[in-house]
Amino acid sequence: MKTKSVLAAAAVFALALPAAAAPLRVLATFPDLADIARQVGGADVTVESIARGTEDPHQVVMRPSFVPKLNRADAVVFMGLTLEHAFLPGLLDAAVNPKMRTDSVRECVGPACIDVSAGVPILEKPATLSRSEGELHPYGNPHYNVGPQNGPLIARNIAEGFARIDPAHEADYRRNLAAYLSQLNAAIAGWEKLVAPLKGMKAVSYHKDVAYLGKFTGLDFVDTIELKPGVPPTPTHLQGLVERMKQDGVKIIVCEQHFSRESCDWLAERTGAKVAVIGVMAGAFPDADTYLKIQDHNIRAVVAAAGVAP
């Protein structure tokens, strides 16, 4: 009888306790966004990245294992500006989650979609929309995560999205955001000092994904190793690029980690420019698995290639 009473009391007590809210299930398209989402979401979210940091963001593998995850997700955090066109619309279509639906203009529409491009000053909006200019992104250059100046805005957009979807934890998200921004802003201030001597120096990159890095560092990217965006280099183009780099006094070749270094090294040999290998996503290198670390890696790589001291 006594045992029964104790059990009954325990059951009543357990029922009276407020049920612990399950964390928000978040999928981020890229590791950068996943990392920032973890910082902002804290214990109130579980976050997974669809892309792996070493992949080409334009050719992320559409793995069906993410279909059930997207189906159950409470939020999807994405870059927008058609950067995820190779994998997100297809996965969303298969995931049949009514809170996030594929859309030909905005990639994802619905209450669970968090587009972190909102408010980003978009660079390199195409003057013409023709595929004769390569694989263009019609709304402008979508690689804004590669410029550290956009990190705070990405974090704010994620916090706003979380607060909209999960208003019960809005205060937590705001507190986490403030803490992360203080870290990020301190880091940005340090990087600004590091890159000060780069202003006006000429550089080339493999792909046209460094516009925002150029804006932050002051580097003047005059050309790309690719013939056009998404079009691999031809021998004629590379030969012409050697001449142009010599004429313009290009000192830095920014080679994104996911591209072959062969062309970068070939150019470096013929022009004397130095190669800076950067990552366009967190996780591009084993020791750069967060947004802060990959930005730090990239800044130090270009500063080292330039051979300048702050």
Partner 1 sequence: MKSLAAALVAALSVAASAQTAPPDPDVAPTAEQRLAALESRLDKLENAPANASISSFNPAIGMAIDAVVRDSNNRANFDFRAAELNLEAPVDPFLKAWAVITGSNQGVDVEEAAMQTTALPYNLTVRGGRVFAPFGRLSAWHDHELPMVDRPNSLNTFVGGEAHADGLEVNCLFPTPFYLEGTVGAYNRIGADNNRTDILGGNSLSEWTYLGRLHTYNEVTDSLGFDLGVSEAWTPKSGQDRPTSGPLTGSVVSDPRNDSGRTLSGVDLTLRYQPAVGGLYKGFIWGTEVLQNDERTYDAASGAADGRAVSYAGYSNIESKLGRVVRVGGYADLTELTYDNRSISRSYAGYLTFEITEFDRIRLQYTRVMNNFSGDLSSLPGTDFGYNDLTGLHPGSIVSLQWTAVIGYHVHGFRGRWGS
Angle of CA points 269, 271, 277, to nearest 5°:
65
Report the alpha-carbon distance of residue 239 to residue 52 in Å, rounded. 33
128 belongs to the binding site for partner 1 (CB under 8 A): no
Residue whose CB is less far from partner 1, 200 or 286:
286
Q: How far apart are CA 50 and CA 69, in angstroms?
A: 10
Residue 7 binding partner 1, by CB under 8 A: no
Site string for partner 1, 133-162 (x = CB under 8 A): -xx---------------------------
Amino acid in the structure at residue 259: F
* Contact region with partner 1 (CB under 8 A), list: 15-23, 39-47, 61-69, 298-306: 61-69
CA 133 vs CA 126, 138, 146: distances in Å: 9, 11, 22
Q: Which two tokens stand for residue 27?
A: 């999928």
Binding of partner 1 by 275 (CB under 8 A)? no
DSSP 273-289: PEEEEE-SSTTSSTT--
Minimum CB separation of residue 86 from partner 1 in Å reads 5
In sequence order, the 6+-apart residues with CB closer than 8 A to the CB of 187 are: 148, 292, 295, 296
Angle at 199 between CA 193 and CA 204, to 5 degrees: 120
91 binds partner 1 (CB under 8 A): yes
Verify binding: residue 272, partner 1, rule CB under 8 A. no
CA distances from 179 to 19, 87, 95, 122, 282 (A): 28, 32, 34, 26, 20
Q: Confirm or reject binding of residue 199 to partner 1 (CB under 8 A).
A: no
Residues in 106-125 at the binding interface with partner 1, rule: CB under 8 A: none
Please say which residue, 96 or 179, places its beta carbon nearer to partner 1.
96
The nearer residue to partner 1, 90 or 218, going by C-beta atoms, is 90
The correct pick among 3, 5, 104, 128 for binding partner 1 (CB under 8 A) is: 104
For residue 131, state whether it binds partner 1 (rule: CB under 8 A). Answer: yes
The helix (H) or strand (E) run that includes residue 222 is strand 220-224
Kindly state whether residue 55 participates in binding partner 1, applying the rule CB under 8 A.
yes
**Residue 264 beta carbon to partner 1: minimum distance, rounded to whole angstroms:** 14
Task: Look at the chain and count its residues.
Answer: 310
Instruction: List residues binding partner 1 (CB under 8 A).
Output: 52-56, 59, 61-65, 67-68, 71-72, 85-87, 89-91, 93-96, 98, 101, 104, 131, 134-135, 230-232, 258-260
